[in-house]
Amino acid sequence: MTVRWLEGPRRQGTTWGLPWPRGTVTADTPFALADGTPLQSWTTATWPDGTVKWSAHAIGPRGDPPASYEVVAGRSPRAPAAPVTVAWSGDDLRVSTGPVAWTLRRPHLISSIEYAGRQIVRAVRLVSIRQDGPSRDRRHTTAEVERITVEQDGPVRAVVRLDGRHGDWLPFSVRLYFYAGATDVRVVHTFVWDGDPERDFLAGLGLRAGVVMRDAPHDRHIRLAGPEGFLTEAVRGLTGLRRDPGAQARADQVAGRAVGDIPNPEVSGRLHLIPQWNDYTLDQNSADGFLLRKRTAPGHAWVTIPSGTRSAGYGYVGGATGGGLGFGLRDFWKLHPTRLDIRGAATDIATATVWMWSPSAPAMDLRYWHGGMGQDTFAEQLEGLEITYEDYEPGFGTPYGIARTHELSLRVHDATPSNDALAEHAAQLSSPGLLTASPERLREANVFGSWSLPDPRHQDIEDRLDLLFDYYLRQREQRRWYGFWDYGDVMHSYDPDRHTWRYDIGGYAWDNSELSPDLWLWYQYLRTGRGEVFRFAEAMTRHTGEVDVYHLGRWSGLGSRHNVQHWGCSCKQLRISSAVYRRIYYYLTADERTGDLLDELAVPEETFVAIDPLRKVRTDRYVPDPHALSVSLGTDWGSLAAAWLTRWERHGDERARDRLLGTMADIGALRHGFLTGQARLDLSTGRFDTTRDSIDVSHLSAVFGLPEIVAELIDLDLGLPRFERAWLDYCRLYLASPEQQAAEVGQPLRGISLVQAHSRLTAYAAARTGDARLAELAWRKFLHDEGDQLNQNPSSANRTGGSPASTARAFSCPSTRRRSCPPTTPRSTASPRSSCSPSSHTYPGSNRKRCQRGGLVAGGGASCSVPSTMA
């Protein structure tokens, strides 16, 4: 199978995932690269027959990487000339990548890093700063590693996990990724918030390393990345002096080479009178600007260096001959407030710190955003829901248990690297290399259910998908959807009166996976292979899997519905933490942290004991009962099924398999199948009570991953025809006429909404059954203004037929209101707003309509951007 680079070749260690058609690759099959490049492989998922469904592969860095590789199944791989090795020696774990030896020892992350036998770095550790209250004294803490686990030990790739705590709070896990022949280590850091938001304020969180400084001060170099290029300085500068050290000396210092003897005695005799710059700081406190400063020593004033906009978040400190350390944080400015520090550069041991939360910024304040406004009863809370769409409940808006993951890099050098090399390293950190199969090969493997490749017969639909993605890409930049907790998410709904998204209105603010934008992005990537779509989806997966989900506490395993704060809503549900949002990224990348998130859902059914999702609207006396748990057959069971399927195919978990197959059989046995709406689950058996006889349809059931996961299950051909029939009945009847619904189930269905989104279901039933009338209905519902929202698809009046499969990614209104919501494109040719820029932009579509291009207006804050909501 051919794999190509997502965004161009990278000279770095790389890991990727590949799917294989069912029955083609047995479990013990080796893999190799056709050109002989050393390869390490392992299985990440299997088909029900035991054959390989997903494999993962790793290669080390290469000086001249080709544009593509051919992965060959059935051939033994070549071993690297210098494999990565991992071995315990007493309390030390020693990792060798060939040129570099890394010693891991508790309580630090890494106690020593040696290049060619010479120590370059010592004491790599995590540091944090804690405040007791919003404006109290700060306490500095060095985190302690409590456990070291080797997860992979070569020969091409080694992974070591370290777990610990920042003092008496903030549990963390760090994974270190080593590749044969590499001089760098990839660091993936995750921490879980377990503080009291009223009392505990995080004022700093960083990764710090000591760097041995051997060179003369004028041969010690500082490099800090700006938007383009680097600040290029020496601890003791030789340029710009009153007396000239010579052109060669000046050129050598700027290039990072050893200066050697200075021929001008008027300079060499006065070196001790040139100030030595000991400390440097680059502070990125917003997405729009960073501040650079330096000083000669503590106790003396900082001198401001010309600053800039968006730093790449990469730096270097070290010497021309003694070596040094490159260090950085991925998405540095996007995850502000962040900071890079160099301290003690004029001493024997410099320290480099990458701050994931800058100490210069105000301390992290996670208190709830309002005081409750007297909403102490369910009745009052439901009234609040009617006006601000926020599902408030006292005590539920807590951040206790949320998490955040950062990716960092440490790279050791035996000499100061060139600016070109540093720029390459910064680019590798910002956009790590990934090899991937083409959309055609992904589709041939028949993974992730029913989806199609772009179809030129329906170019208007493809244009519309591109329009929507490009629009959100621009909105993220225009609206500055960046920041420590926010980056990766998008807003839920737009306020056309204020010309802004409803960032401050209850449940209309951050989206938190509402109506599955995660899946829209991932399926768009699968279909197109576009790198920018992958990166947008990757950022969303990182965010929604960490920030929007609880990893500790009473709601562990559940996520929070959309809100002004990501954790603010009292609706804690499995539909937000669902494995369906993480598994595509996991299989494409083999990312271990995402694997952790999937493993957190090993027994997802137990979350229904913790809280009843329908507690505020029930009219019966139901309380969670482990032998009769109320589970919706839409958002709830879809999330359960995704977790069980993923657990089964990743780990061969028979318990998960039995619960998946058992509940599928039970749904098929219900008189009205999925139309029943709710069922009672017995935790002891993992089965539903099949005697329930009711009709209960929710417009949300099929917009949180249920159609995608059911399509996968049906494709697996698990021998459950009644389950498939139950699903096809639901797909046929949801948008059927009330007369047909009454004829088949005895009553019209109530609560029909999100019509365009549900046209996917009708299309699926048409494709499975070959029913031309269903296909016609699917196209009509997809293209025309029927139901509770306006579709506004160009040239819809001319559409008369086509393949139902091509409607698999319908464009749905993201609002869960039962009334209308703003269309995703202008209803007609937009009239230019007088306050806007005169430039216009043509949006794709066969009926090309013009609207004014977005841009903030000076003084007014108005914007011409299309008031779209997430599709």
Q: Tokens at residue 730, please?
A: 């639901």
Nearest alpha-carbon partner for 391 in 572, 641, 122? 572
The first and second tokens of residue 32, run together, are 């190799």
The pTM score is 0.91
Query: pLDDT tens, 17-34?
Result: 999 999 999 999 999 999
Average confidence (pLDDT) over 342-365: 98
In three-state secondary structure terms, 96 is strand
Task: Give the three-state DSSP class for 571.
Answer: coil
Return phi, psi of residue 814, to 5°.
-80, -10
Neighbours of 675 (CB within 10 A): 22
Query: Are 346 and 466 spatial neighbours (Cβ–Cβ below 8 Å)?
Result: no
pLDDT in tens, 47-67: 999 999 999 999 999 999 999
Q: Half-sphere exposure of residue 820, counting CA atoms within 13 Å on the CB side? A: 9
**Mean pLDDT across the stretch 146-168?**
97
What is the average pLDDT across 500-520? Answer: 98
512 closest CA partner among 640, 377, 391, 387: 391
Cα 335 to Cα 328: distance, rounded to the nearest angstrom: 13
> Is residue 775's pLDDT more than 90?
yes
Per DSSP, 563 falls in state B
773's CB contacts (< 8 A; 6+ apart) are none
pLDDT of residue 830 exceeding 50: no
Percent of the chain with pLDDT over 90: 88
- How much is the pLDDT for 784? 79
In tens, the pLDDT along 645-700 reads 999 999 999 999 999 999 999 999 999 999 999 999 999 999 999 999 999 999 99
Question: Which pLDDT score is estimated for 842?
Answer: 25
pLDDT at 826 over 70: no
Say yes or no to pLDDT of 15 above 70: yes
Q: Which helix (H) or strand (E) holds 659?
A: helix 654-669
Predicted confidence band of residue 788 (pLDDT cuts 50, 70, 90): low
Residues shown for the chain:
871
| Mean pLDDT of the 203-216 span | 98
Residue 537 has pLDDT above 70, yes or no: yes
Asked if residue 601 has pLDDT above 60, the reply is: yes
Question: Tens of pLDDT along 180-196?
Answer: 999 999 999 999 999 99
DSSP string, 694-754: -----TTTTSSSHHHHHHHHHHT--S-HHHHHHHHHHHHHTTS-HHHHHHHHSS-------
Q: Of the candidates 741, 829, 735, which has an alpha carbon nearest to the alpha carbon of residue 782?
A: 735
Residue 566 or residue 859, greater confidence: 566
CA dist 236 to 230, 254, 296, 353, Å? 17, 12, 10, 21
Residue 834: pLDDT band with limits 50, 70, 90: very low
* pLDDT, averaged across the chain: 91
β-pairing, 157-166 vs 144-153, is antiparallel
Using the predicted structure, report yes or no on whether residue 374 has a pLDDT greater than 60. yes
pLDDT over 50 (residue 644): yes
For helices 592-599 and 635-651, the axis angle rounded to 10 degrees is: 120
pLDDT at 795 (0 to 100): 43
Distance of alpha carbon 24 from alpha carbon 203, whole angstroms: 53
Which tokens belong to 770?
């070959």
The residue among 91, 102, 81, 129 whose CA lies nearest residue 187 is 102
Residue 813's pLDDT is 30
Digit-coded pLDDT (tens) for 66-122:
999 999 999 999 999 999 999 999 999 999 999 999 999 999 999 999 999 999 999
pLDDT of residue 790: 62
In this model, does residue 801 exceed pLDDT 90?
Answer: no
Q: Give me the mean pLDDT over the 536-546 stretch.
A: 98
44: amino acid identity, one letter: T
What pLDDT is attached to residue 222? 98
Residue 794 has pLDDT above 70, yes or no: no
Measured CA to CA, the distance from residue 274 to residue 214 in angstroms comes to 19
- Stretch 340-366: mean pLDDT: 98
Q: Reply yes or no on whether the pLDDT at 161 is more than 50.
A: yes
